[in-house]
Structure 1
Amino acid sequence: METEIPAMLDERPELYGESFTFHSSRMRMQSVTEEELERMDEQSEDCATLLSDARCDVIAYACLIGIMAQGPGYHEESEAKLRERTVENDGDAPVVTSAGALVRALDRLEADRVALIAPYVEELTRTVIDYFESGGVEVVDYETLECPDNLEVAELDQRNLVDVADGLNTDDADALVLSSCVQMPSLAAVQAAEDRFGLPVFSAATATTYEILDELGLSTQVPGAGRLLDGGLNEGSERTVPTAADD
């Protein structure tokens, strides 16, 4: 979240004349287990309040599995209650979750069947699959990398992801989720995988970036970040092209 999203926003065309600032508030979590994820999510409301002190224009909740582990559809509940905390602090800001962004990206791409790669242990990857399937999306194949240490997840080599995806059966897939975790790097491999497989390829980070830009009323164009961010999905809707630095 703190590396790939700024990298994508920095790659936007210079003609937009934008400048972004980033603010963060952390929730504690070291091992990716159901118990730690639940304790982590309990901290999210205080974090939303702290961030609203900065009067941010949009707030993004980064941990996808932290949301999905709380049960199907929880992203909607989380986004609503976190926004309410910003309203209570007189800093009203829309809230997007990476889990909700990923689910809505599937809808935007009209993808009913997906293949996915996750860094989690098998049990948590099944949680992601169940979350998708509860919303009517079929996971046709998946690969789980069995990495429970959160810091190790961030150190996984994204150059391997295209080869990992080669082992998936994508014949019946409408899209490929190259990384279902904002902690697992994948940005450098998204376009390469899309070119190889001929499918829309995206990640939790690219989906979150789409929603950040959309909530800001900006074009959703990021070069080389896959079909979701090629700017075409919101063509025809009104968008403001900033003429001065926007936060």
Structure 2
Amino acid sequence: MSRDLHVGMIVPSSNLTMETELPRMLAAREAVIPEERFVFHAARARMQHVTPEQLVAMNAQAMRAAAELADARPDVVATACLVAIMAQGPGYHCTAEDDITTALRAEGSTAPVVSSAGALLSGITALGASRVAIITPYMEPLTQAVVDYLTDAGVEVVDSLSLQVPDNLAVARLDPAELREHHRKLDLSRAEALVLSACVQMPSLPAIAPVQDEIGIPVLSAATATTHRILTELGLEPRVPGAGALLAG
């Protein structure tokens, strides 16, 4: 007998990719484990440009979004803007997850909370990696904030590439096929894993398996890490076909 699992997402108002890649991955999982069906519910927080000011303003809307999602009684809630959290300083994902949890509990929801920022850290740990290279769509200062965040958590960033696209809708329109070229600009000689997209808005899913096959080390993204953490919080095997080593099961 199949069962429905309800996934709540707090996303930027200009997000296109999280609501595409996450369902796509979990639909691929349903194809091999048909007794589990995933249903998605999103609450939006205003953000158009990836600037420090708009990221702070978006974070301030998370409690309202969480309260709205609580009404749908989700089984898990994911807050899905990695840089909005990382730009607030090291360890902020713990604060963000706790605040959203408090808002959900106040509305009678018992759903666990996942952040894409915390999920990227736990995903790197799950791969047994301590040295990574990353690709981001951000301007250089925000990429440095991500590097600093990972470094503070004990992950060495051996190299990084900023694509420098500040408009969030433009980020969603980046061609994931180009990541098969962009990663060649990185020095991966010391990397134990590659974060192909350190942003849930930059599409990367079609490139993850081909790039992993080419470079011979695990490849993950903010989206695959978030999916891994969602499945883990639900007590399910983190297995999605074609989504890289982290979701190999």
Same fold (TM over 0.5): yes
Q: Output the amino acid matched with 1:5.
A: L
CA distance in 1 between partners of 2:72 and 2:233 (Å)? 17
Per-residue Cα deviation, 1:34-81 (whole angstroms, up to 9, x for no partner): 000000000001111110110000000010000001110000111111
CA distance in 2 between partners of 1:217 and 1:29 (Å)? 32
Aligned to 2:10: none
Per the alignment, do residues 15 and 126 of structure 1 end up closer, same or farther by CA in structure 2, a change over 3 Å counting? closer
Shift of 1:14: 3.2
Aligned to 1:240: none
- The answer on 1:14 being equivalent to 2:55 is no
Shift of 1:211: 0.8
- The answer on 1:94 being equivalent to 2:112 is yes
CA distance in 1 between partners of 2:129 and 2:232 (Å)? 20
Task: Choose which of 27, 33, 37 in structure 1 pairs with 2:45.
Answer: 27
Which runs of 4 or more aligned residues in structure 1 lie more than 2 Å from their structure 2 counterparts after TM superposition? 13-16
Q: 3-state SS of the aligned residue for 1:70?
A: coil
Shift of 1:16: 4.0
Aligned to 1:123: 141
CA distance in 2 between partners of 1:168 and 1:194 (Å)? 14
Alignment of 1:48-197 (within 5 A): 48-197=66-215
Choose between structure 1 and 2: higher strand proportion. Answer: 2
Shift of 1:220: 0.8
Runs (5+) with no aligned partner, structure 1: 232-247
Q: 3-state SS of the aligned residue for 1:23?
A: strand
Q: 3-state SS of the aligned residue for 1:60?
A: strand
Q: Number of matched residues? A: 231
CA distance in 2 between partners of 1:201 and 1:173 (Å)? 11
Aligned to 1:200: 218
Q: 3-state SS of the aligned residue for 1:107?
A: helix
Q: Output the amino acid matched with 1:8.
A: M
Q: What is the RMSD computed on CA atoms of the aligned residues?
A: 0.8
Aligned to 1:215: 233
What TM-score does the superposition give when structure 2 sets the normalisation length?
0.91
CA distance in 2 between partners of 1:135 and 1:213 (Å)? 23
Aligned to 2:9: none
Per-residue Cα deviation, 1:11-39 (whole angstroms, up to 9, x for no partner): 01434421111000000000100000000
Aligned to 1:226: 244
What TM-score does the superposition give when structure 1 sets the normalisation length?
0.92
